[in-house]
């Protein structure tokens, strides 16, 4: 009998507060996707080093070239297919570019194939889910070939980072609201409608009502953009009619992007809220040869500490591919300040903490007429939320953040030792938030989930004007830090704003004209 090897980083524990219900039905059909190693990893790493250094001579790869040179090797895919056949599993989909093979089978078949036990659990916030403990095991011929096995466990992995304007009395009494077009003007976005671009939006629940979109864009006096719904792993556009739930996130994202780039196509990738679903959604967007998004906006995430090492590595590898393809990925940094809503100290949100993402933090904005009069770190107190930011525990210091310092709220200052979050910021306080239309009702929404599509819209405008994708923008923005409005007041809990980059608002909020020049 072949020796089985624990897959590094695949260990799972029971989520705190979960109650064991019992064993999963062995006949239940589930889908699991297997991620494989990259061909020519050393050459790919060399390419990424040049991209991370901001080398102007590096051209983005085509999707065809990435698949051929740096996708999964045909022999590795064949090994997974043979393994599946030996265990009675069906191959649903194989994708060399994404380095993934999707398998279908029963709980009993997967338990036998990967030597795991699958149980049903219940959690007071996560609901009922399928979970496992310990490691996933793979045989000799897949040892070193398989990098992740995702979907055996389907516990909810992320939360949307949006907040509806609260009814309570918050720390600041100032209240205002802005349409996305008003913010684009305040932030001096260059003119344009994003014609010819596609912006991908990742959603892990809920949906949108086309009637809301039609009414909203008509109220702004802009043409409605083309919006496409893309189903990933059997999830689809399923609005519940509740603006306080995921519908609020989905609609907010589309309305912000659509207002800024009404000439663009918006592809909304709906996936299940699990590590497998989240990673597959982003992978499908990155490798989409039909819609070909040049920018991807992600408004969902969770503390780094709740991700397995295999999931972090698999997701980060997908984001590396995005950078190699010249696809910009904008991600919300979280709405719970320096703790990211996790117990015990400081945490940063993932995927915003990936060094291949433009991490988007939050500010609170005051304006008079067409000018910003005051902009500080978003921090509306424990109930009202605050912009996420801090120092990653998982990712090394990227070259473009070398030499930076992090300032604490207590006044201490020390060199930034690992990946710092966020990179940039924008209006996020619900008290100075975005006017949107959800489930037929006009409401004011904030959160860093509004900042990711705001920056995505800006970059899509810039891409359309220059006739080429800006791609991996981080090195360029850090070299041209003056392209952002430096935020020097406020804190997000443990970290304070300061001159230059800080762990509350990054480089600052956008001056769109200067960002366009920098890119």
Question: Which domains can be identified in the chain, with CATH numbers?
Answer: 4-37+72-150 (no CATH), 159-518 (3.40.50.200)
pLDDT at 369: 87
Residues placed in the known binding site for Ca(2+): 486-487, 500, 502
Is the Cβ–Cβ distance between 437 and 243 less than 8 Å?
Answer: no
Is the Cβ–Cβ distance between 492 and 386 less than 8 Å?
Answer: yes
Write the DSSP symbol of residue 143: T
pLDDT at 164: 57
3-state secondary structure of 459: helix
Quick check: bond before 442 cis, omega within 30? no
Q: Residues 6 or more apart from 78 whose CB is under 8 A from it?
A: none
How many CA atoms lie less than 13 Å away from 35 in the CB half-sphere?
24
pLDDT at 170: 38
Instruction: State how far the Cα of 260 lies from the Cα of 330, in Å rounded to an integer.
Output: 15
pLDDT at 172: 41
pLDDT at 161: 65
Residues placed in the known binding site: 486-487, 500, 502
H/E element, 258: helix 246-260
Is the Cβ–Cβ distance between 17 and 123 less than 8 Å?
Answer: yes
pLDDT digits (tens, 9 = 90+) for 82-95: 999 999 999 999 99
pLDDT digits (tens, 9 = 90+) for 102-118: 999 999 999 999 999 99
Q: H-type helices in 441-483, by residue range?
A: 451-466, 474-479
Please name which of 106, 123, 126, 124 lies closest in space to residue 114, comparing C-alpha atoms.
106
Residue whose structure tokens are 């809503």: 341
Mean pLDDT by 10 residues, the chain (519 residues): 87 88 97 97 97 93 96 98 98 97 98 97 88 95 97 86 50 70 98 98 96 97 98 94 87 97 99 96 97 97 94 98 98 91 88 98 94 96 90 97 96 96 97 92 92 99 97 96 94 96 98 97
Is the Cβ–Cβ distance between 452 and 390 less than 8 Å?
Answer: no
3-state secondary structure of 62: coil
pLDDT at 286: 98
Burial (Cβ within 10 Å: 0-12, 13-18, ≥19) of residue 458:
buried
pLDDT at 149: 98
Q: Which residues is 120 bridged to in the sheet? A: 22, 130
To the nearest 10°, report the CA torsion of 123, 125, 128, 134.
Answer: -50
119-123 vs 509-510, strand pairing mode: unpaired
441-446 vs 198-203, strand pairing mode: unpaired
Q: Residues 6 or more apart from 425 whose CB is under 8 A from it?
A: 360, 361, 362, 363, 387, 451, 484, 487, 504, 505, 506, 507, 508, 509
Is the Cβ–Cβ distance between 402 and 483 less than 8 Å?
Answer: no
Write the DSSP symbol of residue 140: G
Is the Cβ–Cβ distance between 377 and 362 less than 8 Å?
Answer: yes
Q: Which residues are catalytic?
A: 249, 253, 449
Instruction: State how far the Cα of 370 lies from the Cα of 233, in Å rounded to an integer.
Output: 45
Alpha-carbon radius of gyration of the chain: 22
């Amino acid at each position: 009998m072949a020796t089985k090897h624990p897959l590094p980083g695949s260990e799972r524990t029971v989520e705190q507060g979960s109650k064991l219900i019992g064993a999963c039905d062995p006949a239940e059909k589930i889908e699991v996707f297997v991620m494989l190693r990259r061909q020519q990893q050393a050459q790919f790493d060399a390419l990424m080093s040049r991209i991370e250094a901001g080398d102007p001579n590096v051209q983005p790869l085509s999707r065809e070239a990435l698949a051929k040179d740096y996708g999964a090797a045909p022999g590795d895919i064949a090994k997974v297919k043979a393994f599946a056949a030996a265990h009675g599993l069906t191959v649903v989909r194989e994708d060399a570019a994404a380095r993934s093979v999707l398998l279908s089978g029963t709980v009993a078949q997967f338990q036998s194939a990967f030597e795991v036990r699958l149980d049903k659990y219940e959690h007071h916030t996560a609901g009922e889910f399928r979970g496992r403990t310990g490691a996933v095991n793979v045989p000799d011929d897949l040892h070193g070939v398989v990098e992740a096995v995702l979907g055996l466990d389907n516990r909810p992995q992320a939360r949307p980072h949006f907040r509806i304007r609260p009814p309570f009395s918050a720390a600041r009494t100032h209240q205002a609201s802005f349409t996305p077009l008003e913010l684009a003007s305040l932030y001096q976005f260059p003119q344009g409608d994003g014609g010819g671009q596609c912006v991908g939006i990742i959603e892990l629940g809920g949906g949108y009502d086309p009637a809301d979109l039609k009414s909203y864009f008509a109220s702004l006096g802009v043409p409605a953009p083309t919006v496409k719904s893309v189903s990933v792993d059997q999830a689809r556009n399923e609005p519940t009619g509740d603006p306080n739930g995921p519908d609020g996130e989905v609609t907010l994202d589309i309305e912000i992007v659509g207002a800024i780039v009404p000439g663009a196509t918006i592809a909304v990738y709906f996936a299940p809220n699990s590590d497998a679903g989240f990673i597959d959604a982003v992978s499908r967007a990155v490798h989409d040869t039909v819609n070909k998004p040049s920018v991807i906006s992600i408004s969902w995430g969770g503390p780094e500490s709740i991700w397995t090492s295999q999931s972090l590595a698999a997701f980060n590898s997908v984001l590396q591919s995005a950078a190699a393809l010249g696809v910009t990925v904008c991600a919300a940094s979280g709405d719970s300040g320096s703790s990211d809503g996790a117990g015990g100290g400081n945490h940063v949100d993932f995927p915003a903490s990936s060094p291949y993402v433009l991490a988007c933090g939050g500010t609170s904005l005051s304006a008079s007429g067409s000018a910003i009069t005051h902009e500080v770190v978003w921090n509306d107190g424990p109930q009202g939320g605050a912009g996420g930011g801090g120092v990653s525990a998982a990712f090394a210091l990227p070259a473009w953040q070398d030499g930076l310092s992090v300032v604490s709220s207590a006044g201490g200052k020390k060199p930034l030792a690992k990946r710092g979050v966020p990179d940039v910021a924008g209006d996020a306080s619900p008290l100075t938030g975005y006017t949107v239309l959800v489930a037929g009702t006009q409401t004011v929404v904030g959160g860093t989930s509004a900042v990711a599509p705001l920056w995505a819209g800006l970059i899509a405008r810039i891409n359309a004007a220059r006739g080429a994708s800006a791609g991996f923008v981080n090195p360029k923005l850090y070299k041209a830090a003056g392209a952002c409005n430096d935020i020097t007041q406020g804190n997000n809990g443990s970290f304070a704003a300061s001159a230059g980059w800080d762990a509350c608002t990054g480089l600052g909020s956008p001056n769109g004209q200067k960002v366009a020049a920098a890119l």
